[in-house]
Structure formats: structure tokens, C-alpha cells
Amino acid sequence: MMLGMRTIGLIGGMSWESSAEYYRLLNQEARDRLGGHHCARSVLVTVDFAEVEALQRAGDWTAAGRLLADAAAGLQRAGAELILLCTNTMHRVAPAVEAAIDVPFVHLVDATAERVIAAGLTTVGLLGTRYTMEMDFYRDRMRAHGVEVLVPDEAGRELVHDVIYQELTLGRIEDGSRAAYRRVIAELAGRGAQGVILGCTEITLLVGPADSPVPVFDSTRIHVEHALTLALA
């Protein structure tokens, strides 16, 4: 038994490709920090992304919130002592998830904003799904931390979104899409972005620091590192 580590609950499946990355990073980070054969105490629930994606397209965020709130409540019953929602876009319904549980909810945007601020930056570019880039929930929460967010133009947003849903969530990693993302990132930097947030948990599968002229903030890795710090506190 790992004394002093709280059990981390993971709401995954959006998509399972990035949920697998969450699980890998979480246990890798636990081993790096604690050494030996240590891994992270965790429980994972995988929702059906086809159902979630259909609710996204229909704009039924209320139903999506209920679905993820039920998943969170199930994790708490299973012993989770803090909970992560392993997706950027579905933080659109974070209030519904938080209301369903009595244990801490580790908000991905807050963790990412803290890392941006620690780097001394005030303006960042954001790559994510169309929902993340165009809705207010992400930008407003970043702005509340004092961080301004720039998003790609219409063509750039369409490209970034389509690669996520037509390739990355299906396990396809294409060199042409990596080159296209590099161009979008360079354009954001040219408009004044001091850094860029990989604001979709799948994007880390495609691009990283080597693909950007400015610092990259990988929301997946940041979320995991922040959660593990809390679990060990």
C-alpha cells in the first residue's frame, strides 16, 4: 500500500487514445517521483465517446453533463479521492461534474493557467476542438487568471478540429497534419502568442515543443502532474 497517496479518479474515453496517455503519464510520473516499482493509485471509468460526440454535435451539453456527472459519482463510490476529467472540451460541463461529487475536482484549465503564469506569460495561443476554441468556457476561465487567449482564424480552427475528430481520436497520426499544425502554431506566434496551449488531450499525440517557435503547454501532461502533486500532498 502506498501510504500518503490519495486515489485519483479518471473520467476517460474522450477519446480512449488520450485516456491511455493519461494513464501512461500518471504512472510514469509516479515512478519518476517515488522511484522503484511505485505507480499511481487510480480508478478509471471509460465513457462511450460515440455517445458524447453525438451530444456535442447536437449541442445537448445538459445531457452530456449528466452523463459525466454520473461517471464522476461512480468514481467517488469506487474510492476516488480526487477526480480528473480527461478531456479539455468536456470541461464545458465541469460545473455539473463538480456538483455531483464531494471530493476535489482537479480543473484542467486552472492547472494549465497556473503553468502559463509561472512561465511569466500573459498571452497564449489555443489549439483544441472547435467547441474549446470558439466557446467562452475556456477563454473566460483563462482570462480570470489574467491570461489572454488567441485562437486560429476560421480556416485554422476548421483544420485543427477536423484533424482531432477525423484522425487523432481514431488513432491516426499523419505527417501532413503535423506540418499543418506547425503552420497554425507559427501563425499564432506571429500574432503575438507568447506560448501555445495544446488544449485538446489528443493533440499531444501529434505535436510537441519541437513543432513550435514558442513554449508549448501540453494540457494533458500539466493536468497529470498537477493531479499527482495534489494526490501526494
Active-site annotation, residues: 87, 200
Query: 107 Cβ partners below 8 Å, 6+ apart?
Result: 91, 94, 141
Q: Cα separation of 188 and 196, whole Å? A: 8
233 DSSP 8-state letter? -
Tell me the H-state helices in 12-148: 16-34, 49-58, 61-77, 94-99, 108-118, 130-134, 136-144
CA quadruple 217, 76, 230, 44: dihedral positive or negative?
A: negative
Cell match 501512461: residue? 24
CB 4 within 8 A of CB 232: yes
Q: Cα separation of 96 and 65, whole Å? A: 6
Q: Phi first, then psi: what are they for 127, rounded to 5°?
A: -110, 135
Q: Which residues pair with 103 in a beta bridge?
A: none
